[in-house]
Amino acid sequence: MTFTPTRILIFGGTGTIGSYITTSLLRAQPRFPQITLFTSPGTAEKKASQIAKWKSDGLSVIVGDLTSSADVKSAYQSSQADTVISAVGRGGLQHQIELLRLAEESNTVQWFLPSEYGTDIEHNDKSPDEKPHQLKLKVRKYIRDELRRVKVTYVVTGPYFDMWVDTAPGLESAGGFKPEEKKAWIIEDGEGKIGFCTMWDVGKFVVGTLRHAEESFGKALKVQSFIVSPNEVLAEYEKQTGAKWEVTKTPLDDLKSLEIDLWAKGNPRATSATLRRIWAEGGTLYEKNDNDVLNVEGLDSLADAVKHALAGGYKADTF
């Protein structure tokens, strides 16, 4: 099948990672003929300034309710979308099953990219039992069992470096960096490699996926900006700040105990603890990633990522 995406519809395009994807799509050269954002009335009002900027860059907007089958079906019809990109957050993952069902029923949608940006949910034999993976696994099962016409591609990026470096108040022992205090918390000896994507590179990889449709159909593409150890990240922070940092090392068993305790208490931050444990255990590493399938140029280096983190993050100077 020869296919080139021309009419793209985005769900969740104003969110944490969706904003980077939407902006990257609008900046892509050559331009995509049509890019449409589906967003809620509340978001349309709350993020009116950002949406107005995007509209000046060529974005079309449909306002509706993600949980309304009628609204979604109408969006598919009015946009005549041939490609759907979902960037819904963790709280909206379950709604993708209906988005997929309606896409399969539509006359136009040919390709669907579910919200898989982040940790690989089928990395190893422990993956099916990891609590944060359950909704994404449910979506994948639906796709395998029910989709016959629509093609699907998962863009699996591993942890966002921009978020991994941040510490959570009260959970510093789970890992992270505090530039203002020159302090770092590292799991184990800090030598275990982790494959990262910066949030801007997630957007670049999505654009790259759309440029390589036939090579991407039916695949879970594992893509990464760079692969480094926490100690290498620490060294880059010390280099760029010109200071020696105070380092606290957390044994992996202590992180596991924290994770179990948080889940037992129903603390929503348990998800973060589990993901950080997965990453520390090698859950982002492969014999070979899929970067060469997409041939994306201009990816961030570790030095780029730390520089932007020290400057307050990518959004501060790019959106």
Residue 141 annotated in active site? no
Burial environment of residue 266 by CB neighbours within 10 A (0 to 12, 13 to 18, 19 or more): exposed
Q: Which H, E and C letters describe 140-209, residue by residue? A: HHHHHHHCCCCEECEEECCCEHHHHCCCCCCCHHHCEEECCCCEEEEECCCCCCEEEECHHHHHHHHHHH
Residue for token digits 């982790």?
194
Spot the catalytic one: 46, 136, 178, 182: 136
Residue for token digits 């390709």?
111
Contact assessment for residue 155 and residue 209, using Cβ atoms and an 8 Å cutoff: yes
Burial environment of residue 177 by CB neighbours within 10 A (0 to 12, 13 to 18, 19 or more): buried
- Distances in Å between the alpha carbon of 103 and those of 56, 143, 147, 218, 277? 28, 11, 9, 16, 35
DSSP state of 7: E
> At 85, which helix (H) or strand (E)?
strand 83-86
Preceding peptide of 230 cis, ω within 30°: no
**How much is the CA Rg of the chain, to the nearest whole Å?**
20
The alpha carbon of 116 is separated from its chain's Cα centroid by a whole number of angstroms, namely: 6
Catalytic residues: 136
